[in-house]
Amino acid sequence: MIRKLAPDELTWFIAQAFRFLGHGDAQTLARKAFTSMIDLEAEAEHCLILQSESWPLAGLTVLAPEKDASNQNLYLSNLWVQSKIEDIGIMLEHIQDKYPCEAIYYPLYNHNQQLINDLSKVFEEKGFSLINEFELVFELSELPP
């Protein structure tokens, strides 16, 4: 079952995401992030959890486009998994059914190469491909007049 997050679960949810990234003190960092959140219900509304009968298996945050918006891209963040990376595939199926979109973005720069490879397999099984994007930054002094 996939469910939305309750506002009082936000600190726990964010800590799970930080733990998945390998942060050493995920709970403290999550509490600090929690204090900067203004509308807890709105924040929780975007968080989804794959729930087993006894314990959450995976979670992520979804920022879906409005139906009439010109940008029909969906953005994922705060992804975490308890044990099986394939649980993300179940969540992707749900997201594809519930939120029609042109593309789904999930930043991979915080993950190690092995996890990127594992996530890529799961995403590719659901019809997505890994595209590397790089932001180019130039100092103004380096640009010609």
CA atoms within 13 A on the CB side of 47: 25
Please identify every stretch of the chain with a pLDDT value under 50, giving residue numbers as ranges.
Answer: none
List of domains in the chain: 2-142 (3.40.630.30)
Contact 91, 58 (CB under 8 A): yes
pLDDT at 34: 86
User: Model confidence over 63-93: pLDDT tens digits?
Assistant: 988 888 888 889 999 999 998 999 999 999 9
Amino acid at 35: T
pLDDT at 72: 85
Amino acid at 10: L
Beta strands in the chain (DSSP E): 2-4, 47-51, 56-63, 73-81, 103-105
Through-space distance between the first and last CA atoms of the chain, rounded to whole angstroms: 58
CA distances (Å), origin 55, targets 3, 34, 58, 82, 102: 12, 22, 9, 9, 32
Structure tokens that stand for 4 in this block = 């939305």
Contact 83, 110 (CB under 8 A): no
pLDDT at 145: 67
Cα 105 off chain centre by: 9
Report the distance separating Cα 79 and Cα 144, nearest Å: 42
